[in-house]
Amino acid sequence: MIIENQAMVTDAVTEAVSRTEDPRLREILLALVRHLHGFVREVRLTEREFQQAVGIIAAMGQKTTASHNEVVLMAGSLGVSSLVCLLNNGNNGQTETQANLLGPFWRDDQPLSASGDSLVRSPTPGPGLIVRVSIEDGQGRPVAGAEVDVWHSSPEGLYENQDPAQAEMNLRGRFVSDEAGRFHFHSVKPAGYPIPVDGPVGELVKATRRHNYRPAHLHFMVYKPGFKTLISQIYSPDDEHIESDVQFGVTRALIGNYVRHDEPSPEPGFAAPWYSLDQRFVIEPGEAKRPVAPIRAKAEAATPRGR
């Protein structure tokens, strides 16, 4: 098709894309062209703005390394990650769900740990935390043999694989639920932390006059053949940014009951104050799949804090 005016550009691209053989890919591409071209027309994108947009996309790729994923960070900062999660869980986004963001710092080789173990593998100051977890199916029956990955940031707001000062696999573990669908562990209470603002995501956050903090949370991933893999985060309600997460990840179903204790604990000997969390997860039938780790290496030097 020979282009004669701006309207014909969309017609030409649509015609070309409509020849895509895979039905789902064809559906996605046609919608992408329709909405992308519509966006350009709605905002009357200038040539200068187009070049700036291309520069932002290029910069996200250049900023992404084996230990940092700027693209994942941008998707979260625009609410896309949360939207995709909610649309694919909780009865297709119609009800509350315990599903949440994977985040960029999960590792697929987290060490198998026994119930009652500590996640602390190097000196990590902070209030003690005891977590008791139960796994159930939709009928309230305990699920035994579920593998549950747990990981979180330090009280300084850094994950082990972005902080060379932490020991390998610090604040990480993989547990297996017992016949009652339970396990427990202890660690330190995580803190909220800022996402990096030294790249394109930071420019976006600054331009929209938002802070760049995530509220404190624990990550969980529940894997059991025959059930849909559940990826979750459980947020601490006492965090000052609980209602303004820069990554738009907090839903009401994910706010945990972190109970503060002002007397020393007899076991495992935490000084006051310390915290406890009893967390119940419900998993549904479906395909069990492990995700691909967003980053692949531990940072070699101190880096800005990340998600």
pLDDT of residue 163: 87
With a pLDDT cut of 70, the percent of the chain lying above it is 97
Q: Which two tokens stand for residue 40?
A: 């350009």
Q: Which two tokens stand for residue 96?
A: 């509350």
Return the number of other C-beta atoms located less than 10 Å from residue 117's C-beta: 16
Can you say how many angstroms the Cα of residue 226 is from the centroid of all Cα atoms in its chain?
A: 23
Q: State the chain's mean pLDDT as an integer.
A: 93
pTM comes to 0.90
Cis peptide before 164 (omega within 30 of 0): no
CB 237 within 8 A of CB 256: yes
* 307, pLDDT greater than 70: no
Grade residue 303 by pLDDT with cuts at 50, 70 and 90.
very low
Residues 88-104 as b or e (16 or more Cβ within 10 Å = b): ebbeeeeeebbbbbbbb
Round to whole Å and give the CA distance between 227 and 289. Answer: 9
pLDDT of residue 172: 97
* 27, pLDDT greater than 50: yes
* 42, pLDDT greater than 70: yes
Round to whole Å and give the CA distance between 24 and 26. Answer: 5
Residues 228-283: tens digit of each pLDDT: 999 999 999 999 999 999 999 999 999 999 999 999 988 888 999 999 999 999 99
Rounded to an integer, the average pLDDT of 4-15 is 96
Return the number of other C-beta atoms located less than 10 Å from residue 289's C-beta: 9
Residues 201-217: tens digit of each pLDDT: 999 999 999 999 999 99
Given its phi and psi angles, is residue 54 left (phi above 0), alpha (psi -120 to 50 degrees) or beta? alpha
pLDDT of residue 10: 97
Grade residue 68 by pLDDT with cuts at 50, 70 and 90.
confident
Round to whole Å and give the CA distance between 162 and 68. Answer: 8
Residues 116-136: tens digit of each pLDDT: 999 999 999 999 999 999 999
pLDDT of residue 94: 84
Round to whole Å and give the CA distance between 158 and 76. Answer: 18
300 sits in which H/E element: none
Residues 123-176: tens digit of each pLDDT: 999 999 999 999 999 999 999 999 999 999 998 888 998 888 999 999 999 999
Q: Three-class SS of residue 52?
A: helix
Round to whole Å and give the CA distance between 279 and 181. Answer: 12
CB 234 within 8 A of CB 215: no
pLDDT of residue 301: 55
259 sits in which H/E element: strand 259-261
Cis peptide before 190 (omega within 30 of 0): no
* 298, pLDDT greater than 50: yes
